[in-house]
Structure 1
């Protein structure tokens, strides 16, 4: 494991609008590491993820993500940061007016890809990774929730990211499908040595797939042991 964290926050204050959500945060995640982010609704999990992919500005403190300085990050450089990240949401966020292949093509074009042959190759590679090659001409509404989340993971992998940020990726899925998606995320993380930070409310997944766990609570982010989680 690298000695330099791929995500690092020091004395970071995290705001939603003018409201201080988390304060004086110190946080490290290393390449290839898988970690959970837990906490009650409104405790700051999504705000922390938004800081990391620069949807919220870091107003106080220091932050580094994949070599980018969050405190100094210019708006024009945010797309460069996001090419290093794969972001997976609870509600899939697929474009409903186009098929799966065109969903992924849209993302590559938006992140600067121009060669249509290379674009097609990368789309096929990403869909192969999540066992969805046979569904690339389907529309999102023709897919199950689990299949849509597999496509969302394929979309997150398009630019060969160094980090996956997942915000409740199993939140809309049944327990069996949730386990399938967790197996998939962990497999990809290990094969590609990618860091994964996953916000979740689903403690049964943490029990089944134990990993480093951080809790957002009372304005802080603290690392907690698995035993303490299940005592709550």
Structure 2
């Protein structure tokens, strides 16, 4: 079996000196789709922040995309994030520039210099999320679903092996949420990319079954989404 794309061993997750999750053990395999579920305040966002270096891992062991979280220095956080794709509930697009220039900004910030390669990659990711005809639009000219598609395109730019999605359908209507879920599931399969998606939406989980990691009472539990509806 290949090495997991992410693992945590006996990890304790703190938020402002408060222990929110204890003795966390996780293995995420390459190319798999996982839900991260739990009530508000159960530790989902804190766990995700550990994984992309926003909160330090002070106790236990952990590695994400071959980067050790315990020894992670501030100067190495940008390297970690270049190897990840991160999708937020509120899109976090730069509102003062077009779709194309949002993606250009990320590529230049992560070291891309060849103009032809940059343009080609922007075209590829926009095509993959069905937004190739909207690259000159400003974010305010797009619907919520379209903005989230652009955010997913942005997450794909550097060919990540792992995408962390924090409530990516939280601001979307049910029909658009289904479209985004189909897109994310397709990306996991086609790119052999692992996706860890935090969500409160149990109807989504029921319609798109996958492995689940549940945060509850300061612990995490592993299972299958079907287990939630027995």
Query: Which interval holds the TM-score relative to the shorter structure?
Result: over 0.9
Per-residue deviation at 1:76? 1.6
Give yes or no for contact 2:89–2:171 (8 Å, CA) kept in 1.
yes
In structure 2, the residue corresponding to 1:71 is in which secondary structure?
coil
**What does residue 115 of structure 2 align with?**
116
Per-residue deviation at 1:227? 4.3
Count of residues paired in the alignment: 230
**What does residue 189 of structure 1 align with?**
188
**What does residue 70 of structure 1 align with?**
69
**What does residue 207 of structure 1 align with?**
206
In structure 1, the residue corresponding to 2:70 is in which secondary structure?
helix
**What does residue 100 of structure 1 align with?**
99
Instruction: Using structure 2 for the length normalisation, give the TM-score.
Output: 0.97
1:50 is the counterpart of 2:49: yes
- Find runs of 4+ consecutive structure 1 residues off by over 6 angstroms: none
Aligned-partner Cα distance in 1 for 2:224–2:102: 39
Give yes or no for contact 2:210–2:224 (8 Å, CA) kept in 1.
no
Aligned-partner Cα distance in 1 for 2:88–2:42: 18
Gap runs ≥5 in structure 1:
none
Aligned-partner Cα distance in 2 for 1:226–1:36: 8
In structure 2, the residue corresponding to 1:184 is in which secondary structure?
helix
**What does residue 157 of structure 1 align with?**
156
Per-residue deviation at 1:149? 0.3
**What does residue 60 of structure 2 align with?**
61
Gap runs ≥5 in structure 2:
none
**What does residue 179 of structure 1 align with?**
178
Aligned-partner Cα distance in 2 for 1:225–1:212: 4
CA displacement 1:139-165 (0-9 Å, x = unmatched): 000000000000000000000000010
Per-residue deviation at 1:3? 3.1
Aligned-partner Cα distance in 2 for 1:207–1:105: 37
Give yes or no for contact 2:209–2:226 (8 Å, CA) kept in 1.
no
1:146 is the counterpart of 2:145: yes
Aligned-partner Cα distance in 1 for 2:221–2:3: 20
Per-residue deviation at 1:219? 0.6
Bigger Cα displacement from structure 2, 120-129 vs 109-118: 109-118
**What does residue 132 of structure 2 align with?**
133
Per-residue deviation at 1:77? 1.5
Aligned-partner Cα distance in 2 for 1:20–1:227: 30
Instruction: Using structure 1 for the length normalisation, give the TM-score.
Output: 0.97
**What does residue 223 of structure 1 align with?**
222
